[in-house]
Structure 1
């Protein structure tokens, strides 16, 4: 492949994903490489944790700390060195390790090193999010098939319909690769790595590319839009010019439920696998299961396509986008809304808006999770104390505004675009002076009067009284000091 990569300012990392159409031999080789990555992963986990179990056993015999078995390192260079030492003599690898590329084993070892690092940082409190447990061995029936190539022959063929990977050879792609091929030949892109993965019933290859990407100017760079996500409507968009647009919810899963029930009943009537007795599935069960999986894959593809079209359209039009920091994990615990929330893809919408905004050098403002966008009147700023979820029309008791609940929330979100970002770095955070509350704490919205504290509503009445009392005390102290 000709074309030399010319480094320029504005280089970004981007992924290109293509579906593959391997033949029978290539598909077997893909399974072998992914299985080799899983075998290397399991060996590394067992090798590292063996020293932990040994030290724990020795401690029960009263052996001193200095005499215990030394800890085995989990860094990638150390794992590589030990694996290269034992791969020719260990019966688990000696007979077949030469059949696969070295990158397959390196994939498993690199994943182990990252997993132990995440575990150590989480235990030390240096990693955000939920606690990460000790890495465990991967089961063959549950492990995701994936393998990453960083060295060797990795290229896009000149015909635009084939890719070449180390030890796997040239594999036909299901779709043309002309866009990436043109960039590589033009010298504006350089392929760094390739990852093959089996998902949704077929094989895919993803190229990690370092490329020069020009910033695309949006249609309204000075305009902002607030996006309120929901189930009735997928998104309600209110821009700074006062225009409101409703994006319908496609409900792809709901449209396929009837067909899924039919195929699920067909699968349940046939002889499936049984782990307890070791029974193998029948051919008719496998055929029926494949037909059911095709429906799930189609729903997932339709959802992905719809979300990409929505986020691309929004990012190509507005300069600033305001979204909410939704507690999606908490919503999924609601048994009445879980299926609809999962089908909408709230988290994926926010992720795409953020990275697509970075391409155009446009900011994405994330409103605080506790910001009362639905309870605040977009006209006068009065904040309701309570607004149940079943109340879909917002009615202001102060100014008499009657508006759709989601449209009112979208208008409040777009108003945050002009506001200053608070000390926490999150728009709409009205309480930054106190001690931050733990995740999951309940912040109740207090009733607020209009005209105090800005457009979105002022401080609560009790807070205002405390401030007035403090002012009186300071005045009295000043008078005493002068006297």
Structure 2
């Protein structure tokens, strides 16, 4: 399947609306999502059957030329094979006509993508950790989702209903005016729709090709550095030195009392037990629904906070400097993991990236992960060798500047924007070549020795880096710590 490319001046944007389906419509939605899961499991089993057959034949000493052929996993091949067996396979013959063909196509497309990702991962062509082979989806754990690409896909003229193939017209929980007005004006064209059940209710997401005119930011010649953290969600320092602090609302911490009480009620009810086949009681299901409602509210509040923050920043500044945080590594700290996950640090950078590109065409600069923004003095540029996390005030030994740790880091990030600019304004040099810096000789390799052993080696007379190289690294220009997106 070819990737869709929008026309010049158009962007692909998703419009998501909550649904209020009737009982029969909800049963149809679950049936379509179950059909997608069944088609996915069939495709995984059909492809892997040839793998196991070849492995068994090899154990009997059959030569390579006589082994069973590999079954292809491309989407056209899976569709062709599924159309042959759906009339005779007892898993589909009795009910496959009850759902739209798009439901089965969704599962087959997901299986094809999963096998492609697995093959690229084994060949080293895919970023990230190694992926395993696709596995069957559990009926109990699989996320309910189905995608429609053909048929009657539209938002109705009354602005309160959406029409989907085989599902008919479903009432939306909120008005669809923001998409309907664009469709009527001819500035948007619906490409597909995806229904999904999450956070206790059904949602429909319309993928549309939208004509979007870039909006001018309020201060195009101004750069801002954003230091993200746990105590304060974000500290913003612009190029004039003005500092603004966005407090961390801590939605999860505020709701912990409610969750504790709700979880206590759930634990006192008769819940499910897969080992004995025990089914949950109605009282357990009601109590579990009340507990999940608290979780869903926390998630919605967190999303609302992050969207408001990133939208305001993207609409005000011409250049935004953020950090490349190792959030996955930070989550390994058992003392801070809960608060780091509640803050959503990685989501802030993701939202800033697409909002600045698609809505305002401004520049996002990502400071290298190894850049010492907190250890560098924003006044004179001196770098401390160590700055423990519990030290919240930065005191410079050279110029005697005393400043809050987060404010100092935000100022340093804002100063980095000058390294990627021309002589006339901010965010002018789009061709800046990023150079990976190694402050104080640090590298990306994980050392096998523990810090205690390093200290013992230093006391024994060894040093980790010559003094001359430390001085050269400390005086290295800050432009080497940038990555331009």
> What's 1:379 paired with?
379
Shift of residue 345, structure 1, vs aligned partner: 0.2
After TM superposition, the score normalised by the length of structure 1 is 0.89
Deviation per CA, 1:329-359: give whole Å up to 9, x if none: 0111111000000000001100000000012
> RMSD in angstroms over aligned alpha carbons?
2.6
2:13 corresponds to: 14
Alignment map for 1:83-232 (pairs within 5 Å): 83-232=82-231
SS at match of 2:108: helix
Deviations 1:35-82 (A, max 9, x none): 000000000000000000000010011100111000000000000000
**Cα offset, 1:453, TM superposition:** 3.5
Cα deviation for residue 216 of structure 1 reads: 0.3
Question: SS in structure 2 opposite 1:17?
Answer: strand
- In the TM superposition, what are the counterparts of 1:460-471 in structure 2 within 5 Å? none
Q: Which runs of 5+ in 2 are unaligned?
A: 1-5, 422-428, 452-463
Q: 1:439: Cα distance to partner?
A: 7.4
Partner of 1:67: 66
Give 5+ residue unaligned stretches, structure 1. 1-6, 459-483
Contact 2:435 2:480 in 1 (8 A): no
Residue 293 (structure 1) aligned with residue 264 (structure 2): no
1:416 is paired with a residue of what secondary structure? helix
SS at match of 1:419: helix
**Inter-partner Cα distance in structure 2 for 1:341 and 1:315:** 23
What TM-score, normalized by structure 2, do the two folds share? 0.89
Partner of 1:31: 30
Partner of 2:236: 237
2:400 alignment partner in structure 1: 400
Map Cα deviations across residues 199-250 of structure 1 (whole Å, 9 max, x no partner): 0000000000001000000000111100000011000000011100000000
Q: CA deviation at 1:456?
A: 8.2
Distance in 1 between the 2:153 and 2:173 partners? 18
Q: CA deviation at 1:130?
A: 1.0
- CA–CA distance in structure 2, aligned partners of residues 316 and 440 of structure 1: 42
Q: Which residue of 1 aligns with 2:368?
A: 368
SS of the equivalent of 2:113 reads helix
Q: Cα–Cα, structure 1 residues 137 and 440, in superposed 2: closer, same or farther, change >3 Å?
A: farther
1:423-462 equivalences in 2 (<5 Å)? 429-431=436-438, 437-438=444-445, 448=471, 452-454=475-477
Q: Which residue of 2 aligns with 1:409?
A: 409
The aligned length equals 451
CA contact (8 A) 2:239 2:414 kept: yes
Any conservation in 2 of the 1:271–1:281 contact (CA below 8 Å)?
yes
Q: What residue in structure 2 maps to residue 391 of structure 1? A: 391
Equivalent residue runs for 1:268-287 within 5 Å: 268-287=267-286
